[in-house]
Each structure stands twice: as structure tokens, then as C-alpha cells.
Structure 1
Amino acid sequence: MTDDDLTLAQALADAAGAAIRPFFRKAFAMEAKGDLSPVTEADRAAEAAMRAILTAERPGDGIIGEEYGSERAEAERVWVLDPIDGTRSFVAGRPIFGTLVALLEAGRPVLGVIDQPIGRERWVGARGRPTTLNGAPIRARRCPTIADAHLATTGPGYFSAESYAAFERVGAAARDTLWGGDCYNYGLLAAGHLDLVVEDGLKLYDFAALVPIVEGAGGQMTDWQGRPLDRQSEGRVVAAGDPALIEPAIALLQAA
């Protein structure tokens, strides 16, 4: 991962935002995917814009995108794209969705961008570097006990019955629970406004960009067994602004 990769990642986010903004709170075509999740003209336009840049600038790198699938997915370096993480929020006119751009090297996330193109907020994280929000370094806040933690998740419908029961154990122990937010929750955690995010059912393009952002702000992000997240992770994730929260959160998730 190089400075040029950071510049390119932000150019991808710029292109996606330029494609998305004309559709926000306007009429647009929309359909349901096989899993009944929505996809819009804006999702497809944003991913197409990013893929065109990568094809020109990084023809040897792989691409994995939510809307247009994979190209050279077994390459050593793979860009992972989610043009609109939180499409339901976008459809509803709520500006808490985001474009996610990640770079994997040897299957592990080393660079991530969350870009909110309406509020013009951009989080950038890269391995070995501090996370920034609109260019300024940020830090997650210290919160070593779950009883004091502000917990967030996108929604109960993303959990199985079993995993939701596990989530509820964490929620019962936390100070409070915030619903909704998708990737925006992880940006808020990195900036010190939330303490814990627990989710199930995420895909690689949902979480790859988030890992460098959380970790570069001093937090930690793992699966429900406490393992580092990589390309093979199943999509059950825990993000903590204070790494001290990971062990007790996982203990609650794993409790019989």
C-alpha cells in the first residue's frame, strides 16, 4: 500500500460521489435483488465509475464489487467496492449511507475509505497510519466497560434468530443501543461518538474498508471469535473503539 494507492482510493470516492449526488432525493430506477435488498441507478452508476478508473489506473489489480462482481479476484492486490452501503437509507433520503472503498493485500484490508457524499464527510484509514476525517486525525474514545458503552447495529433483520439472541445479550449489558446506520456507525465509532458495533450477515464489501478505519483510530475490529477480519471472514463482526471492550463483548456473544 502506497501514497499513490491512498490518492487513488480518494479519487474513486470522488467519482462515486459525483455519480450518486444527482440521484439523491430525486426520481430513479430501482429493483430488488435476489435477496430482496434494493439496488438503484445510483448504486450501479457509482460502481461503474469506480471500476472504469481502476481498469485504467490499476489493470493488474483485482476488483470485487457489490453490483458488478469480480475481476482478477485472486490477484495479490484486490480493490473491494460497495458503491452505496446503506441503499435503504439512500432510497429513503437519509444521508447516512456511504461509499466504501477498500484495498486488500494478501487477503487482508490495508486501506479503507468511508465517503458520505451528501454531508461531504470522508474517513480514510490505512495500515500504520492514523485515521482521518476530512483530513484531520481522529481517535476513538476510551470506554473499557460495556455498561458505559453506546452500542449500534444496522437492524434486527440482518441477524438470524440465534445471532440476534446473542446480540441482545450485549445490548442488555450496554448503556444503550442505536439502530440503523450501516457503515456510518463505524465512522462515528472511529470519531469517538459510539463505542461498540456488533453485526451479522456482512459481506466482504460491507466490512473490508471499515477495518483500517477503526484500527487507525485506536480501535479494534474482529469476528465473533476474536479473530482478525480478512477475505475469508464469515461476516459476523465486532468493532470497538476501546479494544478492552472486545473480550467482554465476545464473551456475551458466545454465552450459552
Structure 2
Amino acid sequence: MSDLRAFFDELSAAARAITLGAPVPVADNKAGAGDYDPVTELDRATERVLRAAIEARFPEDGIEGEEYGLVRANARRRWLIDPIDGTRALICGLPSWTTLVALLEDGEPVAGFIDAPVLDELMVAAGGETALGGTALKTSGCASLADARLATTDYHLLGPGMAPFDRVRREARVTRYGLDALAYARVASGHIDLVIENGLKPHDWAALVPVVRGAGGVVGNWRGGSDLSGGDVVAAATQALFDQAVTILQR
């Protein structure tokens, strides 16, 4: 695990060498007409350098990234890369975007990191523990929705999930928006208690799972199960808070 943590540090440094200090990039729309899903050359360049580093160290492992797809689909171990999570934040000059890397074994996320380069925060999850700068992280321990700090990236991206989310929002103490994966990092550090999102793809959520769980938090779907393949995700500081949120989502 110490070797894995050191490799995560190397990956972070390689990605930061591309992204930190770069000018705000121009975005292309990869969603086509009628929608907007921005991608920039920084996304692509960052993924290329991360894929190359993983390929060099673990040539038999599968690698899947948001921008360049999947190689070695049948490998037992697979790396998932989201080179820049929060491209909308990036192109608006905001510091909340992150780089996400996860390691999966037999389809289960077992390690990973959330790196917020502008904030100089690298949260690493390995061996069932999450740390920031070598200091172990713990969730807030919040067990009551009435006391909870809730987050989602964009209320309007929830689509049909807006109504169930709104039921939870009305019972939470405070709600914040626009943080993307950084909200999950804040669950791990104890500053946010609950995140509810939907429509996520595996590269969006894979690194978040070990980071939140390694800090003592709970991650599951809107029905209370552990299958995140549908893209609906609840991350909570405690099991009690998770259960309260799921109950309200399912009303």
C-alpha cells in the first residue's frame, strides 16, 4: 500500500504538471446539438499523461478514461481516470475542479484519489484509509438530516431526480452547489455531511467511493443498495444519515 500511495503521488504530480498554471482553456462541446458537455485540450492532455504512467508501471492492467476509452477490458484490475472532473468550473476559472483516479479489482473500487490541484489538496485512499498530506481523515459523524450540510453539483442536472432531491433539501440544514467531486472530498474531511447526485458515469464515481469509505463514510445508490452502475449516488458521513436520505428519496 505504501508503494501504491507513492504511485498516486507520482500520478498527481504528472497531472499537475499539465494543468497547474495553464490558462483557462477553450472548450469543445462533445454532447452535440441540444446539450452541453464541455471538454478541453487540458482534459485530453491530462488523460494521456496519466494513461502513459499507468501503462508503464502496470502494463497488464486495464485502463479506462473519460476521453480515450478502455483497453484490456478483461483484466482483473482496471484503472479509471477522470482527468478533469468539473470542466465547467475549469472553464469558468473556478478552483473546484479535480483529477480523479481509481483502482478497481474485479469491478470494485479499492483505492483511488481526489486531487484538487489549485487548492493543493490530494486525498488518497488506500488500504481502507483516506489521508490528506499523510493525515488520516474522518467524516463529521453527522447522524441527523436536520443537522446536515448537503451538496449536489447542479440542481438542474438532476432531471427527474429534482423532486426527490428537493424533499431531502428541505429537511437539511444547508445546501451548497457546484462542487463536483470536491463535495465528496469534503465529506471525507468532515466539512460536508451528505452528497446526492444522479447521472454519473463510472469514471465520475469510482475514485469517490474509496475516498469516502476510507474516512468512515457510506456510499450507495438512491435505493439504499451498493450498485452504482445506474449513476445515482448518495454519499453520507454515517449510516444513519445515509438511511434517512434514502428513505426520503424513496417516498
TM over 0.5: yes
Q: TM-score, normalised by structure 2?
A: 0.95
Q: 1:43-58 alignment to 2 at 5 Å?
A: 43-58=43-58
Q: Is the 8 A contact 1:211 1:229 kept in 2?
A: no
Amino acid at match of 2:88: R
Tell me what 2:167 maps to: 169
Tell me what 2:75 maps to: 75
- 1:22 deviation in Å? 3.5
Percent sequence identity over aligned pairs:
46
SS at match of 2:50: helix
* Range with bigger deviation, 151-160 or 98-107: 151-160
- In 2, distance between residues paired with 1:49 and 1:229? 30
Q: Is the 8 A contact 2:24 2:91 kept in 1?
A: no
Provide structure 1 residue ranges, at least 5 long, that are not aligned to the other structure.
none
- In 2, distance between residues paired with 1:101 and 1:125? 10
- 1:227 deviation in Å? 1.6
Amino acid at match of 2:225: R
Tell me what 1:32 maps to: 29
Tell me what 2:86 maps to: 86
Q: Deviations over 1:84-123 (max 9, x none)?
A: 0000101111111100000000100000100011121010
How large is the Cα RMSD of the aligned pairs?
1.3
SS at match of 1:94: coil
- In 2, distance between residues paired with 1:7 and 1:208? 20
- In 1, distance between residues paired with 2:10 and 2:143? 37
Q: Cα–Cα, structure 1 residues 125 and 234, in superposed 2: closer, same or farther, change >3 Å?
A: same
Tell me what 1:6 maps to: 5
State how many pairs are aligned. Answer: 248
Q: Deviations over 1:133-191 (max 9, x none)?
A: 12211111111110110100000232122x11111111011111111100100111111
- In 1, distance between residues paired with 2:119 and 2:145? 30
Amino acid at match of 2:144: T
- In 2, distance between residues paired with 1:252 and 1:145? 13
Q: 1:125-164 alignment to 2 at 5 Å?
A: 125-128=125-128, 130-161=129-160, 163-164=161-162
Tell me what 2:215 maps to: 217
- 1:248 deviation in Å? 1.1
Q: Which of the numbers 188, 201, 204 marks the counterpart of 1:203?
A: 201
Tell me, yes or no, if structure 1 residue 238 matches structure 2 residue 229: no
SS at match of 2:70: strand
- 1:29 deviation in Å? 3.8
- 1:220 deviation in Å? 0.5
Q: Is the 8 A contact 1:153 1:199 kept in 2?
A: yes
Q: TM-score, normalised by structure 1?
A: 0.93
Instruction: Detail structure 1 runs of 4+ shifted over 4 Å in the superposition.
Output: none
SS at match of 1:142: coil
- In 1, distance between residues paired with 2:140 and 2:90? 29
Q: Is the 8 A contact 1:221 1:240 kept in 2?
A: yes
- 1:126 deviation in Å? 2.1
Amino acid at match of 2:126: A
Amino acid at match of 1:153: T
Q: Deviations over 1:6-53 (max 9, x none)?
A: 322332222111111132xx2534211125211011111100000111
- In 1, distance between residues paired with 2:124 and 2:239? 20
Provide structure 2 residue ranges, at least 5 long, that are not aligned to the other structure.
none
Tell me what 2:118 maps to: 118
- In 1, distance between residues paired with 2:25 and 2:199? 27
Q: Is the 8 A contact 1:147 1:174 kept in 2?
A: yes
